[in-house]
Structure 1
Amino acid sequence: MRLKNRVCLAVSCLLSAAMPAVASEPDDFEDRVRAFLLSNPEIIVEALDVLMQREAQQAVVQTLSNYPELFTDAPSLGLGAEDAPIRVVEFFDYKCVPCKAMHDPLKSLVQKNPNIRIEMRHLPILSPGSERAARFALAVSAVAGKKAYAGVHDDLWAIRGPLNVAAFERIAADHDLDFQAITDMMDSAEISQRISLNRDVAIALEILGTPAFITPKTVNVGQSDVDELAKVWLSQ
């Protein structure tokens, strides 16, 4: 019954689109449209696809309206000019191989398209170490500022082995940072709130992996063609 209702809705949309021409058409116009649709049912399938895409986009927009801070928070870590008019939020995990594979192409993308800013947000879901690394990076930002955060992020990004205390202590030493102060900050309410917000958004949008790229109107999950993503972002 649900499918039948959706088909009826799709047909109704098709008829509505044709209504401006109805006044000048013969009285049997709707009968002829019906006969045409029965002879070409693939058009109804296409209309259903368009309808589903439209509904999905509306659902994304509605869901994201509950999290305005995702796009209004001050920039902290990302690619491209901080004042670029198009902000894309990338959810990433330090253990995410596709995230790392897309990183250099995304760097090139924002260099070619200065209107795009990709703001990177932690979504640690792949391992317990992922969350500890996210907390460590965010603690560095809170204790030592954005420049130190960017440097520590690059070092965490490059780690191939375990994301553990020994690795964090080594990175802190390399950047001449106060490791004890960072450790004390890692489990703070501020950092827990940031990670929880990102997870809440992911759950609401049914995001099950990384990377995930989010704009106020679209969600793209998984390794994707960067140029195709750019077309979507620039069209908004």
Structure 2
Amino acid sequence: MRAFILDNPEIIVEALEILAEREARAETQARLAAYPELFADAARLGEGDVAAPRRIVEFFDYKCVPCKTIHPALVEFVAAHPEVRLEMRQLPILTPGSERAARFALASREIYGDETYRAVHDRLWDVRGPLNTAGFQRIAGTLDLDFAKIAPVMESEAVTSRITYNRDVAIALGVLGTPAFVTPDSVVFGSTDIEALSEVWLSR
């Protein structure tokens, strides 16, 4: 064995790489163990069959250009892999407007339900300017929603706790930016390389 290793020292490097990958995966799994509901919560917003057996959680921000850039490729990926559900979660970290928009979307869901949440999300996703009250009022008007009912719920405990929970998970997993993609044994953030991401997701 010693002679073989001396003749093929590259296997040591390969073994160390495999060990490091296993240790990183085990560490990720240990951190995620504190948040078992992350992959078990009822579907709220995302792409793919809500009953799909494999779930990828994406943390996004409405001001995140890379999030919007990669989204069409994610839709295609999910369409090509019906066993996968992409669940999108609010992680407003880029600007104060990001949090206001997240609160508006989540408050809309609290009052009107998931279908309206998706409609509000789609319009916020397309906003290129500031994310402010005037804009939210316009979106509410186009969807025939009562912004006067939505506004107080934006500061409710239910909305605040959801945003806080998402931030807590992100901090625990070492997420430093969006988009961030989390599976039961992997965490990747800041990447828009769908081929590289697909390789990670489908290798498990």
| TM value normalised by structure 1 | 0.82
Q: Give the aligned partner of residue 44 of structure 1.
A: 12
Q: Which has a greater percent of helix?
A: 1
> In structure 1, the residue corresponding to 2:108 is in which secondary structure?
helix
Q: Give the aligned partner of residue 97 of structure 1.
A: 65
**TM-aligned CA deviation for residue 42 of structure 1:** 3.2
Q: Is the partner of 1:223 in helix, strand or coil?
A: coil
Summarize deviations over 1:138-181 as a string: whole Å, max 9, x none. 00010111111111101101111111111111111111111011
Matched, 1:73 2:45: no
CA distance in 2, matches of 1:51, 1:224: 27
1:58 and 2:26 correspond: yes
| Aligned position for 1:112 | 80
Residues 99 and 223 in structure 1, CA contact (< 8 A), matched pair in contact too: no
Does residue 181 of the first structure (1) align with residue 149 of the second (2)? yes
2:166 is aligned, of 188, 192, 198, to 198
Q: How does 1:1-236 map to 2 (within 5 A)?
A: 33-236=1-204
The CA distance in 1 between the partners of 2:20 and 2:127, in whole Å, is 41
Deviation for aligned residue 1:110: 1.3
Amino acid across the alignment from 1:108: E
CA contact (8 A) 2:25 2:185 kept: yes
Question: Quick check: which has more Rg, 1 or 2?
Answer: 1
| CA distance in structure 2 between the partners assigned to 1:140 and 1:191 by the alignment | 10
What is the Cα deviation at residue 224 of structure 1? Answer: 3.2
What residue in structure 2 maps to residue 21 of structure 1? none
The one-letter amino acid paired with 2:32 is L
Give the share of equivalent positions with the same residue, in percent.
Answer: 57
RMSD across aligned C-alpha pairs, in angstroms?
1.4
Give how far 1:36 is off.
3.9
CA distance in 2, matches of 1:180, 1:69: 32
Q: Return the alpha-carbon distance in structure 2 between the equivalents of residues 169 and 219 of structure 1.
A: 36
**Unpaired segments of 5 or more residues in structure 2?**
none
2:181 aligned counterpart, secondary structure:
strand
1:168-223 deviation per Cα after TM superposition (whole angstroms, max 9, x unaligned): 11111111111011111011111111111111111111110000111111111122
Residue identity in the other structure for 1:233: W
Q: Is the 8 A contact 1:89 1:120 kept in 2?
A: yes
Q: Aligned partners of 1:86, 1:231: CA distance in 2, in Å?
A: 15
Q: Match for 1:69: what amino acid?
A: E
TM-score by length of 2: 0.95
Residues of 2 paired with 1:198 and 1:107: CA distance? 22
Q: Structure 1 residue 87: deviation in Å?
A: 0.7
Q: In 2, are the aligned partners of 1:140 and 1:149 still within 8 Å (CA)? A: yes
Matches of 1:192 and 1:80, distance apart in 2: 27
Letter in 2 for 1:234: L
Q: Secondary structure at the match of 2:24?
A: helix
